[in-house]
Every structure is written in C-alpha cells, then in structure tokens.
Structure 1
Amino acid sequence: MKILFLSPGWPKGRLWGELGFKFPTLSLASLAAVTPQDWDVSFHDDAVRATNFDTDADLIALTAMTAQATRAYQLADAFRSRGKTVVMGGFHASNLPDESLQHVDSVVVGEGELVWPRLLADFQAGQLQRLYRADGLIDTALIPQARREIFKGSGHLFTNTIQTTRGCPFDCEFCSVTAFYGRKYRKRPLEQVLAELQELRKANSFVFFVDDNIVADRRYSLPLFEGMKGMGLKWLSHAPIDFAEDQELLKAAGESGCVGMFVGFESLNQDSLAAMGKVTNKAASYKAYAQQFRDHGIGILGSFVMGCDGDTPAVFEQTLRFCEDARLEAAIFPILTPYPGTKVRQRLEAEGRIISNNWQDYDMEHVTFQPRGMTVQQLQDGYDQACRSFYSWGSIYRRIFKLHRSVQVFGPMNIGFRSAIRKKRADA
C-alpha cells in the first residue's frame, strides 16, 4: 500500500509563507521511520510546490501547526472528496481533535511513533479508528533515525535537521511545547545522535538541531558538544539566554561548530518576564550575555514577544534600540499568540480577551486578542514597523558589518527576512 506524508503550506502574504528558505517537516520523516517496509512512502511539502490531488496513495498523513490548520483542512477536504482516507496529527490536532475530525478520518493525539504502526495495521484491516492516543511518551532510545530519503526531490535545498531532545523543563505561559510534551525533558542516547550526525555530515556540513532547548541538561549537552568536536559541522539550535553563564558549555558549543542560536529574550521588562514564567531571563544582563555568545563565535536570532500586558506602544522603539545596541545578528518580534492548549489561552479566554479564532492569523504576525496596554491597531502597526525597521539596510549594516564567523549564516538570513517582509507588503 502507499502513503503520502503531506506538510501543509503557509498562506501567501505572511512572513513564513514568503521566506524562500524552508526546512522539511522532520516529524513526518520520523513517522516514516516507524512505517513498515511493505508500505510505499512518499513526501510532499505544500509550501514548496502546489499539491497534486491526483495521487495513487491509499492514505494521506498530515501534520500541522495552528497557523497551518486551515490549509491542512483544505487539503484534507480535497483529498477526501476524491475518496482518499486522511489522517492528521501534530500540535493543533492534538489540542483540538474534535475540530480536526470534521475534516479527516482519524486523528493521532500526542507523539505518533507509538501508535502509528497500529493505525496502519487497522487501516489495512479496514478497522481504522477515529482517534489514536499514545499511552505516555516514547522511550527516546527507541526513536529510530529519521527516514530522510523521503525528502529527496521535495524541492528543499536543506534537509539536515535532527532532534536530540524532546520537551523543555520550563513552563512559559505562551509556549505550545510544554502543552504538548508536559514539563518533561527527554534525551536520545548520545551514541545514536553522534552516529546520525556522522551520516548527516556526508550530505552537508550545516546542521540544524530542532530541539527546543539543546542545553537544558549540561550533563547531556556537554558530552554531545565534545563528541561533535572535529566533525567539521556548522550548526544552529535553540538555547536560553542564560546559557551565557556557563562558560565551559558555551566554549564547547563554539568549538563543536555552533554558529548560531535562536534565543527567546521575550521581553526587556522583568515584570513581564515573571508574569509569563520566563524564570531564567535577567533583562539587565541581556547585553553582556549577547556579547558572551559572540565572543565564542555564536550569533543570535533573538525573539521578543510583543503585546504582553506590561507593554505600551513604547515597547517597539525600546526593543529595536536594544537589538541594535546589543548587535543582535537577527531577530523576530512575534505578537503574543494564544495557541490552543497553552496557559495564556486559558487566561485570555477566562478574561474574555480572545477576539479571533481564525487559525490562519495564529502566525505570530496578527493580533488575535485584546491587548491591555495599547489598542489592537497599535500592536499590529508596531509589529509591522519593527520588522521593517530591523531589516532595513541601515540596521543590517549596523548589526553585522564586522566580520564574524556567524555572518555566513546571518548575512543570508537578514537578506531573506528583508525580502520576505517586502513581498508580504506587496501582497497585502
């Protein structure tokens, strides 16, 4: 039998839809790895190429984040109208399975690897269930190497993504990760990860770790970085800003080839940080921390959540000035988004402040709740202006004009963001 693993696209005129550099969905390659060998598998990314609905696949498997849910439902409806069976998993379907079941034949809630073989067996037997829910979390030692060969011919320039850990030990109010995994931080066996990295190195020296917090347990990350030293890798991942306090670990990351980290600064207001549960961030130390990253050859893609209850219209200019003063190599300014399953959604629903459940607008670029310290329009306009200002040629020059090894990544990244923002405005 044949299965098509399908990743839905992003709407045009949105930042993530306009970015030219896209990664394939690693979770689908992970499911492909636990798919029995007698299944013929293929992969398609709707964000890269238009979807052809005339497929001979027996089963269509979708995954989607909330902002992709509308497109996922459109794809599912189109395939089902042609007599195909469609199943769906991922963050959005796991949080809203009843909604998803209005568009698909079956929903997988939670981590899919444990129940996927059973779902396929049921389908072959003509006994597909409406809902499959994993009993607990998979033993990370049992996670097989992702079946990346399904990405061949998908149109992606880069497929070297890997996951070494799942979850995060922290509990930030706005984060979907904890809502999905719980406050559990699980690690794959180091020997498996290092062996997989050796295989990835044969294809490309650049690697992106999709881990939500690759340094949450230094007893794991330190030997990981030491094991990577000498592989000739150039890699990026996610880390908290207080990673800078651990000089030994920071040095090991730099020596292992780390050229960049996505860092959640979230706010310059310490009270706002406390309210959102960002307990490790110390705003007064941000600039010094950023310099520590840079001293070890590691650039920063910073993230600042706009629209927190302590924010006023002044927050945009303050944040921009900080980003330039700290010479952050790149940054995004996501609007606070109350994703299903998160604590912030529960709070804003209780306060009657949710103003939109149009999932396409849950892309961190649109205001979907009533802010407290400014109007909806002020928040939207402030976000748009912050993006344009930060990715102006003048700002790019001021932040990254000095030679630094991370420029090889962040130079193209800045140009890519600038181009996407301009395309977004043209499509508006």
Structure 2
Amino acid sequence: MKILFVAPGWPRGRLWGELGFKFPSLALAALAAVTPPEWDVALCDESRGAIDFNAPCDLVAITAMTPQAPRAYEIAAGFRSRGKTVVMGGFHASNLPDEALGHVDAVVVGEGELSWPLLLADFQAGRLQRLYRSPGLLPMASIPVARREIFAGKGYLLTNTLQTTRGCPFDCEFCSVTAFYGRKYRERPVEAVLAELETLRKANSFAFFVDDNLVADRRYALPLFRGMKGMGFKWLSHAPIDFAGDEELMRAAGESGCIGMFVGFESLDQEALAAMGKVTNSSSAFLDQARKFRDHGIGILGSFVLGYDGDTPDSFGRILRFCEEARIEAAIFPILTPYPGTAVRRRLEAEGRITSNDWRDYDMGHVTFRPTKMTARELQEGHDWLNRSFYSFGSMWRRIGKLHRSVQVFGPMNLGFRSAIRKSDRTKAS
C-alpha cells in the first residue's frame, strides 16, 4: 500500500508564499519514519511543484498550519472526489478537529508518532476511526530519525532540519506551541542527537534545529554544544534574548558553529511584554544583549509582534530605529494573530474584538482583530511600511554592512525577504 504525504503551499501574493527559500516538513518525515515498512511513502510539497491528484496512492495524509487550512481542505476535496481516503493533522486540525472532520475522513490530534501506526493498522483492517489522539506525550528517546529520503528531488535548499526538544516552559499569550506540545520541556538524549548529526553532515554542513527554545535547559544544551564542537556545522535555531546572559553557554554555542538564532523580542514596551507573558524579556537590556550575540558570532533573526494593546502608530518607527541601532541582522514583524487554541484568541473572543475568521488571513500579515490604540488600517499600513523600510537597501547596509560571519546566511536572507515583500506589494497593487 502507498501513502502520499502532502504539504499545502502558501498563497502567492502573500509574504510566505513569495519567499524563495523553503524548508521541508520535518513532521511529515517523522511520520514517514514510524510508518511500517510494508507501506510505500511519497511526498508532495505544493511549494515545490503542482499536486498530481491522480497520483497512485491508497491514503493521503495532509498537514497544515492555520493559514494553509483552506488550501488543505481544497486539496482534500480533490483527492476525495477521486475516491481517495484523506487524513489530516498538524496545528490547525489539532485545535479545530470538528472543522477539519468536515473536509477529511480522519483527524490526528497532537503529536502523531504514537497514534499514526494505529491509524494505519485500522485503515488496513477497514475500521478507520474519525479521530485519533495520542495516549500521551511521546517519550523523547523514542523520537525517530526523520526519513529525509522523501525530500529527494524536491529542490530544497536545506534538508538538515532536526528537533532535539519539545514543549516550552513559558506560556506566551500569543503562542500556539504550548497548546500543541505542552509546557513540559522534553529532551532527546544528547547521544542520539549527536549520532543523527554525524549522518547529516555527510550531506550538508548547514543545519537548522526547529526547537522553539533550544537553550531552555543549560544542563542539556551545554553538553550538546560541546559534543558538536569540531563537527564542522554551521547551524541556526531559536533562543530567548536572555540567552545573552549565559556567557559559558553562548561561547559553547558559537564554538559549536552557531551562526544565527531566531529571537523573540516581541515588543519594546515592558508593559506589553508583561501582558503577553514574555517574562524573560527586559526591553532596557535589549541593546546590550544583541551586542553579546554578535560578539560570539551569532546573528539574530528578530521577531516583533505588532498590534498589542500598548502599540500606537509611533511604535513602527521606534522598532525600526532600535533594529538599526542594535544591528539586528534580519527580522520578521508579525501582526498579532489570534490563532485557534491560544490564550490571546480566548481573550479577544471574550472582548468581542476578532473581526475575521478567514483562515487565509491568519498569515501574520493581515489584521484580523480590532486594536485599541490605532485603527486596523493604521496597523496594516504600519506593518507594511516597517517591512519595506527594514528591508530597504539603506537599512540593510546599516545593519549588516560590517562583515560578520553570520552574513553568509543573513545576507541572502535579507535579499530573499526584500524580493518577497516587493512581489507581495506588486500583487496588492494589481
């Protein structure tokens, strides 16, 4: 029997749909790894090529984030009209399983590695259930090595993505991670991670850890970084800004080949940081902390959430000035988005402030709620201006003009974001 794993594409004309660099779905490769050997598996990533709805398969498995959900439902309808059985998982289906079940034959809620083999056995026996929930959290020692061979021939720039931890000890109001993975911070054995890295470096010297907070437990991260030293990797991941306060751990990360971290600054307003639950951030320390990252050869892809209740039309210029003064190598500026399953959605629903449930607009680039200290139009225009200004040639020169080892990644990243923003702007204008 054969499974076709499907990753829906992002809409063209939207920022994430126009970006040239795409990462493969590690979640689908992980499910492929726990698929019994009698099944043949194949991957269709719509961002890398058109979907063949007549592809030979017995079962279609789709994963989708919220802004991809409408396209996922269209894809499901296309396969079901041809008599195929379609199942769906991922963040959106896990948070809204009843909605998803209106479009597919079965839904997998939460981490799928434990329930996926049961679903396949039920399908083979002709007793497929409508809903599958994992009986518990996956033991981290049991995380399988992803079957990355399903990425072959897709033209990905990088396939060396891996996960070492799940969950987050914090509970930021806007974040959907804890709703999916829980707050308990769980870690794979360091030896298992290093063994996987040994195999990965045969293919590429770059690696990306998809962990939401790789350094939450220094007792875990420090031996991992020391074990990676000398392996020759250039790698990126996610870390909070207060990572800068641990000199020993930061030095170990730099020496192990870390050249960049995704860092959630989220706001320059301390009251807003407190409201969103970003308890580790102190805005008064941001400049010094950013310098410490750079001093260790680690560039920053910063994130600033726009539209929190304290934000005003003056916030956008303030963020740009800070980014240029701190020489933030790259950044994203997501509009506050009330994703299903998050605390911020529950709050905004209770306050009657959600203005749209069109999931296509839940791409962090569109306003779907009513702000308090500016209009929705001012928030949208401020977001658009900030993106264009940050990725202007002048700002790029001020931020990354001085040579730094992270420029090998962040230089192309800036050009990629600039190109995607310009394409998105042209689509809006047409």
TM-score (norm 1): 1.00
C-alpha distance in 2 between matches for 1:424 and 1:213: 30
Cα distance, 1:153 vs. partner? 1.2
Identify the residue that residue 188 of structure 1 maps to in structure 2.
188
Structure 2 residue identity aligned to 1:298: I
State how far apart, in whole Å, the 2-side matches of 1:210 and 1:346 are.
Answer: 27
Kindly provide the amino acid, as one letter, of the partner of residue 148 in structure 2: R
Give the Cα separation in 1 of the matches to 2:136 and 2:358.
31
The SS at the match of 1:61 is strand
Aligned to 1:253: 253
Q: Distance in 1 between matches of 2:70 and 2:424?
A: 19
After superposition, give the CA deviation of every residue in 1:13-33 in whole Å (9 maximum; x if it has no partner).
111000000000000000000
Listed one character per residue, the Cα deviations across residues 53-90 of structure 1 (whole Å, up to 9, x for unaligned) are 11111000011110111111110011101111000001
CA distance in 1, matches of 2:182, 2:54: 39
Taking the TM superposition and a 5 Å limit, the aligned residue runs for 1:93-112 are 93-112=93-112
Q: Render the CA deviation track for 1:263-296: whole Å, top value 9, x for unaligned.
A: 0000000000000000000000000000000000
3-state SS of the aligned residue for 2:207?
strand
Answer yes or no: is the 8 Å Cα contact 1:162–1:209 preserved in 2: yes
Residue type of the partner of 1:117?
Answer: P
Q: C-alpha separation between the residues in 2 aligned to 1:80 and 1:195? A: 41
Computed over aligned residues only, the root mean square deviation of the Cα atoms, in angstroms, reads 0.5
Mapping 1:19-98, distance limit 5 Å? 19-98=19-98
Tell me, in whole angstroms, the C-alpha distance in 1 between the residues paired with 2:44 and 2:51.
8
User: CA-to-partner distance for each residue in 1:375-413, whole Å, 9 max, x for gaps?
Assistant: 000000000000000000000001001110000000000
Taking the aligned partners of 1:142 and 1:167, their CA distance within structure 2 comes to 16
Hey, what does 2:201 align to over in structure 1?
A: 201
Matched ranges for 1:298-337 at <5 A: 298-337=298-337
CA distance in 2, matches of 1:321, 1:167: 33
Equivalent pair of 1:160/1:200 in contact (CA under 8 Å): yes
Consecutive unaligned residues of structure 2, counting only runs of 5 or more, are none
Q: Measure, in 2, the Cα distance between the counterparts of 1:392 and 1:101.
A: 44
Secondary structure, in 3 states, of the residue corresponding to 2:178? helix
Q: For residues 270-329 of structure 1, give each alpha carbon's deviation from its aligned partner in whole angstroms, at most 9, with x where no partner exists.
A: 000000000000000000000000000000000000000000000000000000000000
For residues 333 and 13 of structure 1, what CA distance do their matches in structure 2 show?
17
1:353 matched residue in structure 2: 353
Deviation at residue 141 of structure 1 after TM alignment: 0.5
Matched, 1:373 2:339: no
Which position in structure 1 is the counterpart of 2:402?
402
**Following the alignment from structure 2 to structure 1, what is the Cα–Cα distance between the partners of residues 77 and 369?**
29
Helix, strand or coil at the partner of 1:202: coil
Q: Tell me which residue corresponds to 1:211.
A: 211
For residues 227-306 of structure 1, what are the structure 2 equivalents within 5 Å? 227-306=227-306
Paired amino acid for 2:78: A
Residue number in structure 2 paired with 1:131? 131
Secondary structure of 1:301's counterpart equals: strand
Q: What displacement does 1:224 show?
A: 0.3
Matched with 1:154 is 154
Cα distance, 1:155 vs structure 2: 2.5
Residue type of the alignment partner of 1:227: G
Unaligned runs of 5+ in 1: none
**2: CA distance between counterparts of 1:276 and 1:33?**
37
Code of the aligned partner of 1:195: A
Partner in structure 2 of residue 116 of structure 1: 116
Please say which of residues 177-186 and 98-107 is displaced more in the overlay. Answer: 177-186
Q: Write the letter of the residue equivalent to 2:384.
A: D
Spell out, residue by residue over 1:203-237, the C-alpha distance to the aligned partner (whole angstroms, 9 max, x if none): 00000000000000000000000000000000000
Tell me the SS of whatever aligns to 2:369.
Answer: coil
**What is the alpha-carbon distance in structure 2 between the residues aligned to residue 369 and residue 102 of structure 1?**
26
Q: What is the CA–CA distance in structure 2 between the aligned matches of 1:150 and 1:12, rounded to whole Å?
A: 25
Aligned letter for 1:86? V
Contact preservation (8 Å) 1:43, 1:154:
no
CA distance in 2, matches of 1:146, 1:40: 15
SS at match of 2:389: helix
Query: Structure 2: which amino acid aligns with 1:396?
Result: M
**Secondary structure class of the residue paired with 2:313:** coil
Percent of residue pairs identical: 74
> 2 CA distance for matches of 1:78 and 1:389?
41
> Deviations for 1:101-147, whole angstroms, at most 9, x for unmatched residues?
01100000010000100100000111100000111101010111011
SS at match of 1:271: helix
Amino acid at match of 2:162: I
2: distance between equivalents of 1:157 and 1:75? Answer: 25
> Where in structure 1 do 4 or more consecutive aligned residues deviate above 2 Å?
none
- Per-residue CA deviations over 1:152-173 (Å, capped at 9, x if unaligned) read 1123121110000011110000
